[in-house]
Amino acid sequence: MKNLLLFIRARFFQWINKPRMLNNIYINPDGNIAKNTRFGNTVDFVNKKQITLGNNVYIGHYAILDGTAGLEIDDGCQISARVSILTHSSHISIRLFGYKYSLCNGIENEGYKLGRVKIGKFTFIGTGAIITNGVTIGKGCIVGANSFVNSDLPNYAIAYGSPAKIIGYTKEVDNIFLKNNQQFQEYYNEWNNE
């Protein structure tokens, strides 16, 4: 009997800790549920009360979303696994405070960097990308895997590298598909003209 209980307990903990997707359970600061929004149970929401997710958003496993200075991810975005989106940094204040860092109040005049991050509609962020505080990424963008984004990206930019540089625009890629399929054009116009 004891072995059976130990077996059941082990299976239970394996099940609880197994990465899985959660759907339609994210409640935004305004009290509304982000519809059709999925994220891994391993996603780390830091200062969740400052994070707003749009509808139809996907966030892969082991992502870190920091809402310290405010984070908005608009409708239809896909955030891949192991992405870090950071709205604060203590890279200066740790040196200023040294061993007294616990006294830091997290304000800019103490070397603490804060900056809201916004990601526009239907943007794709590749695996392992890092987005730093104060960055705005436009709608319809692609950020390549393992890219380091430390400056704003305009609508439809394709950016890759460390630091990320614009290497093209999604409109050029999309037009190939749009001119051959009227249905895609209608779908595209629906979000693009808002």
The answer to whether 40 and 63 have CB atoms below 8 angstroms apart is: yes
88 is catalytic: yes
> Is residue 158 a contact partner of residue 142, using CB atoms and an 8 Å limit?
yes
- How many CB atoms lie under 10 A from the CB of residue 114? 15
* Residue 193: C-alpha distances to residues 93, 105, 121 (Å): 43, 42, 11
Q: Identify the H or E element spanning 84.
A: strand 84-85
The CA distances from residue 157 to 124, 164, 165, in Å, are: 11, 11, 9
Which one is catalytic: 39, 52, 88, 132? 88
Spell out a b/e string for 125-160, using b for 16 or more CB atoms within 10 Å of the CB, else e: bbbbbbbbbbbbbbbbbbbbebbbbeeebebbbbbb
- Other Cβ atoms within 10 Å of 28 Cβ, number: 16
- Cα 23 to chain centroid, rounded: 16
Instruction: Just list the catalytic residues.
Output: 88
